[in-house]
């Protein structure tokens, strides 16, 4: 089993849910990446999604776009991020997921990219602009390196297509909970819970909900219908404001709730 599979297998046995925070690598300086990863693991993160700053993101909302711009202005590069992840893997034990778009991977070189993230101990790769029809350009290399491609589905993805997508992976299915970009939200569509339930019923792998999740009430509601959540903009904001106390409260509160499920 991979580190991701082992993690979710353990959660299932303990009847617990996953909390995966997202951070933008290079926001605040790439040199602080390792410390932030260590902090999130200490606070109870199940796994961590590490974003690569990109000049033309298609899925990022204002908060994450601003973090990406700050990171790029500080000279953050994909190569520099991977070098920091090598250091991080010496002290971080939970799964690390790298989120990037296709353009930086092409510029880096697909085979070189996969080999370098393998050496860095990356467990999964999230590529939002890669449809399943085109994934052969990289998935064979990822499979060989034992790195899981984490696939995304949305509220507008037909259930039959979701069934096909979910049967392709061994990690987890990333379900985008909004019709739009990332960013904190006060409410979700009324039919989201039923959609999550339907996806959970047909997916052979864990289903995690992401986009717009920012508070404990949302997390508690959504995790009744899926296997965990991915929280991005809220975590980015808390790091930007150096509000580690609220971040710890959010993650530790989730852990306590999860133990009671």
So which residues are the catalytic ones?
49, 60
Length of the chain: 261
Whole-number Å distance between alpha carbons of 150 and 131: 12
* Rounded (10°) angle between helices 110-119 and 78-88: 20
Report whether 68 contacts 60 (CB < 8 A). yes
Token pair of 227 as six digits: 């296997």
Helices (H) and strands (E) in the chain, counts: 12, 9
Report whether 100 contacts 222 (CB < 8 A). no
Instruction: Please list, in sequence order, all residues whose beta carbon lies within 8 angstroms of the beta carbon of residue 60, skipping any fewer than 6 positions away.
Output: 68, 181, 182
C-alpha 183: how far from its chain's center?
14
Whole-number Å distance between alpha carbons of 41 and 47: 8
Whole-number Å distance between alpha carbons of 225 and 83: 37
């Amino acid at each position: 089993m991979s580190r991701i599979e082992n993690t979710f297998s353990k959660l299932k046995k303990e009847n617990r849910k996953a909390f995966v925070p997202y951070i933008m690598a290079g926001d605040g300086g790439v040199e602080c990446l390792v410390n932030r990863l260590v902090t999130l693991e200490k606070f109870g993160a199940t796994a961590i999604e590490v974003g690569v700053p990109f000049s033309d993101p298609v899925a990022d909302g204002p908060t994450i776009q601003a973090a990406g711009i700050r990171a790029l202005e500080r000279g953050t590069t994909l190569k520099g991020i991977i070098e920091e992840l090598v250091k991080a893997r010496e002290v971080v034990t939970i799964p690390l997921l790298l989120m990037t778009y296709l353009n930086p991977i092409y510029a880096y070189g697909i085979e070189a990219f996969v080999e370098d993230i393998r050496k860095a101990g990356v467990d999964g790769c999230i590529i939002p602009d890669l449809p399943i029809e085109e994934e052969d350009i990289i998935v064979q290399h990822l499979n060989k390196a034992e790195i899981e491609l984490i696939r995304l589905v949305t509220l507008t993805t037909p259930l039959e297509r979701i069934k096909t997508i979910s049967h392709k992976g061994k990690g987890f299915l990333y379900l985008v909970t909004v019709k739009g970009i990332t960013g904190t939200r006060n409410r979700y569509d009324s039919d989201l819970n039923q959609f999550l339930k339907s996806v959970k019923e047909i997916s052979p792998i864990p289903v995690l909900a992401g986009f717009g999740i920012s508070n404990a009430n949302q997390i508690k509601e959504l995790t009744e219908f899926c296997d965990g959540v991915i929280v991005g903009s809220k975590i980015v904001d808390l790091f930007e404001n150096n509000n580690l106390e609220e971040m710890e409260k959010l993650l530790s509160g989730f852990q306590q709730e999860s133990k009671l499920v």
